[in-house]
Amino acid sequence: MKTNKFCQSCGMPLSKDSKNGGTEKGGSKSELYCSYCYVDGEFTDGGVTDVKEYQKYVMNIMKEKGMNGILAWLFTRGIPRLERWKK
First to last CA, the chain: 21
CA–CA separation, 59 vs 68, rounded Å?
10
Q: What is the pLDDT of residue 3?
A: 75
Give buried/exposed letters for 56-68 (b at 16+ CB in 10 A, else e): ebbbeebeeeeee
Q: What is the pLDDT of residues 43-74, one digit of tens each?
A: 999 899 999 999 999 999 999 999 999 999 99
pTM across the whole model: 0.89
